[in-house]
Amino acid sequence: MTTTTEKDPTMTPRTDLLTAVINLDLPGPRISRHIYGHFAEHLGRCIYGGFYVGEDSSIPNEGGIRLDVVEALRALKIPNLRWPGGCFADEYHWRDGIGPRDERPRMVNSHWGDIVEDNSFGTHEFMQLCELLGADPYVSGNVGSGTVQEMSEWVEYLTRADESPMATLRRSNGRDEPWDLPFFGLGNEAWGCGGNMTAPGYAHLARQYATYVRNHGDRPVYKIAAGANVEDYRWTETLMKALADLGGAGATQHQHFQALSLHYYTYNQSWEDKGDATSFDTEAYYTTMKRARRMEELIRNHAAVMDSYDPERTIGLVVDEWGTWWNVEEGTNPGFLYQQNTLRDALVASVHFDIFHRFADRVVMANIAQTVNVLQAMILTDPDSGALVLTPSYHVFEMNSGHHDADSLSVGIKGTVPTRDVEGSALPLFSASASVTGDTALVSLSNLDESTARTVVLDLRGRTVTGSSARVLNAPTLQTHNTPENPDAVAPVAHTGIRDHAHGLEVDLPAHSYVTVQLHLGSAG
């Protein structure tokens, strides 16, 4: 394959302007900070060598947890972390991961590399990690190979404060006070690695297991059923009907599950040959972006199924696995799913967040797969030197942190959005979203055109704008990525291509770039 030729990211924008109309005084549904969630599975070097290096490591750590990784993720205001899987969750037995580490039994991680897992990172280590991160824990329980009792006792171990058997066991392992457990998953991918179940079979089990995930503390556990893969709308309907058969989704949500999940990955070629992370041509880039934008179709259609049973939208949709999936890097274990991360991956992330923002009334959480050293990671760590690299995707999360718990704003487009024919249909080459919190608004703009810069007018209505600033994430080529030798090849910088306009602001968008504009707001105007 050929690679994109180097281009000047400051090239002169075109004059055929687009206008994005934003009514700053008309807030829509709130964007939950939890759509910026993360995912850490016992897979490759995500846990061991990523989050956890052990107490004897020369890398600064607390209880074996890497402090540089913690610091980097705290800068993202990471809202939640999903663990222990993924496919690993449905072969994980939590009692194996408590007590003295040298006495914990070993197991085979049959899904990811067929390696021996020593369980040195278990429940206490994960909850300590979440406390260091300031993140809510999202624990995935074992439905595939576990039991109702096992799951019920894990929740009791985590959350009960009195002298119950599991609370007593927790205290014997060094933790007196219970933890807060905001989110709990009822298995993972029950249609596949989580048990190869049918939709009716899993729906029955989800109701059964959820019954025994009891609330032992003051904060109810938000239970998430293992939902559909890609366009399996029948699976979604079966789960929603399982609630409706008991008297309606809204009436029973306190007894059973409060959300269901959706999984969708972006890759370029086929499941067997997903394409290379860094060596790709222009057509492969555009195919990737088309497939990334398919997330909007999937959410819209799953939401429509959910609406027919739950018109008040009391049941949430949790996209707890999303992101790019490429062929593993040459010379690495195929079961470890280690891949590089380029500017292309960053644009995949920016487009996804625009979509999640538009469906803020239904999408209550999302989890990028995964946080460290696996798939579309935020952080890559070098196994030899221990060096830490922030990826282009990390920077999109950081640039978007102003959207956390903000009220969404509709972005109306005047003018013709540029498109490109990809596999017989038109791919829009511009994406945007916006939100407001008090006297601050954030506008996110993605120019997906590989070669052409554009200028966008922000037609800002309803409130006065007293000040603005912008940042841009860009690089000479889409294949550019960060390495220990060049850690800032793709990193955000202040953007000077922003000017006053009669209707608000004029913003230059370099080719293949991501730009955020922060607005300081005054009164209604």
Which residue from 417, 408, 434, 440 is spatially nearest to 520, judged by alpha carbons? 440
Backbone angles phi, psi at 141, to 5 degrees: -85, 165
Is 321 catalytic? The answer is yes
Domain end position, chosen among 345, 370, 405: 405
Which residue from 400, 345, 342, 403 is spatially nearest to 369, judged by alpha carbons? 345
Query: Rounded to whole angstroms, how far apart are CA atoms 109 and 117?
Result: 6
Domain end position, chosen among 371, 390, 405: 405
Q: Are residues 373 and 498 in the same domain?
A: no
> Could you tell me how far CA 90 lies from the centroid of its own chain?
21
Q: Are residues 181 and 62 in the same domain?
A: yes
9 contacts 475 by C-beta, under 8 angstroms: yes
Is residue 375 domain-resident?
A: yes
Is residue 438 domain-resident?
A: yes
Is residue 6 domain-resident?
A: no
Sorted by sequence, the CB contacts under 8 Å of residue 50 that are 6+ apart come out as 40, 66, 69, 371, 372, 373, 374, 379, 381
Is residue 313 domain-resident?
A: yes
Catalytic residue among 41, 189, 237, 398: 189
Backbone angles phi, psi at 111, to 5 degrees: -75, -40
- Which 8-state DSSP code applies to residue 5? P
Using DSSP, state whether 80 is helix, strand or coil: strand
- Which 8-state DSSP code applies to residue 87? G
Is 189 catalytic? The answer is yes
Sorted by sequence, the CB contacts under 8 Å of residue 83 that are 6+ apart come out as 39, 40, 41, 126, 137, 138, 139, 140
203 contacts 239 by C-beta, under 8 angstroms: yes
Q: Are residues 389 and 457 in the same domain?
A: no
For every one of its 525 residues, what pLDDT tens digit does the chain have, with 9 covering 90 and above?
Answer: 222 323 344 445 444 689 999 999 999 999 999 999 999 999 999 999 999 999 999 999 999 999 999 999 999 999 999 999 999 999 999 999 999 999 999 999 999 999 999 999 999 999 999 999 999 999 999 999 999 999 999 999 999 999 999 999 999 999 999 999 999 999 999 999 999 999 999 999 999 999 999 999 888 999 999 999 999 999 999 999 998 776 554 444 445 899 999 999 999 989 999 999 999 999 999 999 999 999 999 999 999 999 999 999 999 999 999 999 999 999 999 999 999 999 999 999 999 999 999 999 999 999 999 999 999 999 999 988 889 999 999 999 999 999 999 999 999 999 999 999 999 999 999 999 999 999 999 999 999 999 999 999 999 999 999 999 999 999 999 999 999 999 999 999 999 999 999 999 999 999 999 999 999 999 775
Range of the structural domain that residue 479 is part of: 18-26+408-524
Q: Are residues 487 and 376 in the same domain?
A: no
Q: Are residues 413 and 495 in the same domain?
A: yes
Dihedral sign, Cα of residue 24, residue 29, residue 33, residue 35: negative
The total number of structural domains in the chain stands at 2
Q: How far is CA 40 from CA 53, 368, 375, 393, 525, in A?
A: 15, 9, 11, 16, 46
Sorted by sequence, the CB contacts under 8 Å of residue 317 that are 6+ apart come out as 227, 259, 260, 261, 262, 299, 302, 303, 306, 359, 362, 363, 364
Q: How many of the other CB atoms lie within 10 Å of CB of 5?
A: 9
Domain end position, chosen among 405, 429, 452: 405
Count of alpha carbons within 13 Å of 10, Cβ hemisphere only?
5
Using DSSP, state whether 21 is helix, strand or coil: strand
Q: Are residues 371 and 418 in the same domain?
A: no
- Which 8-state DSSP code applies to residue 327? P
Catalytic residue among 321, 398, 450, 506: 321
